[in-house]
Amino acid sequence: MFGSNDHIGDEAHRYGTATIGDAVARLRSGGLVAVPTETVYGLAADSTNAAAVAEIYRAKGRPDFNPLIVHVPNLAAARNLGQFNELAMRFAELLWPGPLTLVLPKTENCPVAPAVTAGLDTIALRVPAHPVMRELLHASGLYLAAPSANRSGGISPTTADHVARSLGLAAPLVLDGGACEQGIESTIVAINGTDFRILRPGPVTAAALERIASKPAATTDSETIEAPGQMLSHYAPNKPVRLNAPSAQPDEYHIGFGPVAGDMNLSDSADLAEAASLLFAALHHAEASKKKKIAVAPITDEGIGLALNDRLRRAASPK
């Protein structure tokens, strides 16, 4: 595909209990590998191998109408899979590598398995920035389909330990790269000609995209068609979640923010990026606590705060 590098089974490329060489061997034989990215841990497979892709859906218990993001090492590789117009090129050149996913028309000879795109004629593409994921992409020479490495609908993993806890016996080989820096899933943007729409808010803010595009994001009322996987209940702990709670009841684990101290605080200084990096860890912690319920302090609804509140609304939605 785009070249590979076979000399890397050694200790210098060990992350936790596995090396990059182990991971490449697993991926090439159609297996799954959990890998850190700057957003959350992904559950990766060769996107051109239909059986490997089916294994992702099975391990996660993910509904098959929910398409996967394909991770590639650079824009040149991305252009083998998706059709980039001028606006898509601008976003890619300015924001990749990074936590931005572009939804574009598939190329005519796009080699990914049909299940990756859930039968759509568009494909979601990202060039991640995390050094371990980048090493894996370069070493394997594969286009990697990788949703978050957790049971479908549950809390996303931002550490190797979260992966093991969520996937249990289905947990694959894990490359442990420590805690994810952004801690919240990529911003997903659909390109339609000269317009763009934000299908999922994330670390790349609407303001940043609008500056680059020199126009506002388009809005839509047909989200279900464009973003088939954006279920209302998602990222959900196994106990009730109450939002905008300045104080908590005795049976609630309180996730604080800024001046609302809580049992743990996402950011004392009300820094939204810091809060994003800790959000899923806080939900994991709250889920594991003895308290029967979870309450979350109000979080500023701007910038990355929009993405935090999007995840929290889904975490609080009835299943």
Residues of the shown chain interacting with ligand AMP in the complex, contacts defined by CB under 6 A: 66-69, 103, 117, 120, 122-124, 147-148, 185, 188, 199, 226-230
Size of the site for Mg ion (CB under 5 A): 1
Helix residue ranges, H only, 114-263: 131-140, 160-167, 206-213, 223-226
What does 227 interact with, of Mg ion, ligand AMP, none (CB < 5 to 8 A by kind)? ligand AMP
Q: Which does 24 bind (CB under 5 to 8 A by kind): Mg ion, ligand AMP, none?
A: none
Min dist CB 151 to ligand AMP, Å, is 12
> What's the helix, strand, coil split of the chain in %, to 5?
35, 20, 45
Q: For residues 60 and 254, which CB has a smaller minimum distance to Mg ion in the complex?
A: 60
d(CA 217, CA 285): 35
Smaller CB separation from Mg ion, 3 or 168: 168
Judged by beta carbon, residue 230 or residue 300, the one nearer ligand AMP is 230
CA gap 311, 233 in Å, rounded: 9
Q: How far apart are alpha carbons 272 and 152 in whole angstroms?
A: 26
> Using CB under 5 A, which residues numbered 70 to 89 contact Mg ion?
none
Question: Is residue 37 at the binding interface for Mg ion, with CB under 5 A as the rule?
Answer: no
The Cα angle at residue 149 between residues 16 and 30, in degrees rounded to 5: 80
Distance CA 117, CA 66 (A): 8
- At its nearest, how many Å lie between Mg ion and the CB of residue 84? 25
Task: Report what 226 binds from Mg ion, ligand AMP, none; CB cut-off 5-8 Å by kind.
Answer: ligand AMP
163 binds, among ligand AMP, Mg ion, none (CB under 5 to 8 A by kind): none
- Binding partner at 287 among Mg ion, ligand AMP, none, C-beta below 5 to 8 Å by kind: none
Omega before 63 within 30 of 0, i.e. cis: no
Task: Report how far apart, in Å, the C-alpha atoms of 266 and of each of 162, 180, 262, 279 are.
Answer: 18, 15, 9, 7
The answer to the question of residue 186 lying near Mg ion (CB under 5 A) is: no
Phi, psi of 198 (to 5 degrees): -90, 110
* Shortest distance, position 198 Cβ to ligand AMP, whole Å: 11
Give the burial class of 169: count Cβ atoms within 10 A of its Cβ; 0-12 exposed, 13-18 middle, 19 or more buried: exposed
**At residue 292, what are phi and psi to the nearest 5 degrees?**
-80, -20
Query: Which CB, 43 or 173, lies closer to Mg ion?
Result: 43
Stretch that binds Mg ion, among 142-150, 187-195, 251-259, 273-281 (CB under 5 A): 142-150
Q: Least distance in Å: CB of 148 to Mg ion? A: 3
Query: Measuring CA to CA, which residue among 220, 183, 217, 218 is closest to residue 203?
Result: 183
Complex with ligand AMP: residue 291 or 313, whichever CB lies closer = 313
Q: What angle do CA 295, 232, 55 make, to 5 degrees?
A: 110
Does residue number 148 form part of the binding site for Mg ion (CB under 5 A)? yes
188 binds, among Mg ion, ligand AMP, none (CB under 5 to 8 A by kind): ligand AMP
Toward Mg ion, which CB reaches closer, 37 or 122?
37
List of residues 6+ apart from 31 with CB closer than 8 A? 45, 52, 55, 172, 173
Cα separation, 31 vs 8, whole angstroms: 18
Shortest Å distance, C-beta 258 to ligand AMP? 28
Minimal distance, residue 108 CB to ligand AMP, in Å: 16
Nearer to ligand AMP by C-beta: 214 or 222?
222
| Residues that bind Mg ion in the complex, under the rule CB under 5 A | 148
